[in-house]
Amino acid sequence: MVLPPAPTIREATASFLSKCETRGIRRTTLAKYRTFTNQLNRYAGTRGYARIDQLSVLDMDRFYSSWKDGIRSRAKKLERLKSFILFCKKRNWLTEDIAEDLDAPHGASVTMPKAPFSDEELQRIYAACDRIGAPIPPPVFPRGSMIRLSIFPNFSTARAISFATSTSTIPGNIATFK
């Protein structure tokens, strides 16, 4: 079986972007795919490559090492690279997965805490507030009233809604719901 010649790198990246667009991904994510394909096209141009099958494992090593992003951004960009290479391999434009042995940077999978303050920091903040002066009576909000939840950085939305729909006092007498 004779395969047709591999497309140019520009054609392959355009086809990949078209597939991404038809998947209905968010505009911001699509912009990251475009940035990635532009970077790959520039890299290939500096190496004098025209067709997708001219890229090698060594090129993937060089391309990957040229990224100056933070570890999480590098890991996400690596996912896009691997997705693109798999896309090309499924269409028989590449005979092997040339990005297979690339690994995400060390620490890229470590999750960061979502709350702005740890429990210990919150306790220190509460203690400092208590030392400032006499407690101020907490405001009373009628049931169903809207308040800004930004003053409760350590509460999830579900917990805040639970407080808002019951008669409760938030720890430290910050606010009372009735």
What's the predicted TM-score (pTM) here? Answer: 0.61
DSSP track, 75-86: HHHHHHHHHHHH
55 and 18 fall within a common domain? yes
What does residue 177 show for φ and ψ, rounded to 5 degrees?
A: -110, 135
Question: Mean per-residue pLDDT for 44-70?
Answer: 94
77 and 143 fall within a common domain? no
Q: Which of 90, 109, 130 is the last residue of a domain?
A: 90
Question: Mean per-residue pLDDT for 153-171?
Answer: 49
| The pLDDT of residue 62 | 94
Q: CA 175, CA 168: separation in Å to the nearest integer?
A: 9
129 and 74 fall within a common domain? no
Q: How confident is the model at residue 87 (pLDDT cuts 50, 70, 90)?
A: very high
Q: CA 178, CA 172: separation in Å to the nearest integer?
A: 17
124 and 81 fall within a common domain? no
71 occurs within a structural domain = yes
Segment among 41-45, 96-100, 136-140, 161-165 with least mean pLDDT: 161-165
96 occurs within a structural domain = no
| The pLDDT of residue 116 | 76
Q: What is the CA radius of gyration of the chain?
A: 26
| Residue 168 β-bridge partners | 177
| pLDDT 10s digits, 25-46 | 899 999 999 999 999 999 999 9
Domain that holds residue 34: 9-90
Comparing 163 with 44, the larger pLDDT belongs to 44
User: Is the pLDDT at 60 greater than 70, yes or no?
Assistant: yes
DSSP 6: P
Question: Mean per-residue pLDDT for 148-159?
Answer: 49
* Rounded percentage of the chain residues whose pLDDT exceeds 90: 47
What's the N-to-C CA distance of the chain in angstroms? 76
97 occurs within a structural domain = no
50 occurs within a structural domain = yes
The residue assigned the tokens 């719901």 is 177
127 and 67 fall within a common domain? no
26 and 78 fall within a common domain? yes
84 and 123 fall within a common domain? no
Q: CA 115, CA 33: separation in Å to the nearest integer?
A: 29
109 occurs within a structural domain = no
20 and 79 fall within a common domain? yes
Q: Per the structure, how many domains does the chain have?
A: 2
| pLDDT 10s digits, 108-135 | 766 666 677 778 888 888 888 777 766 6
| The pLDDT of residue 149 | 47
134 occurs within a structural domain = yes
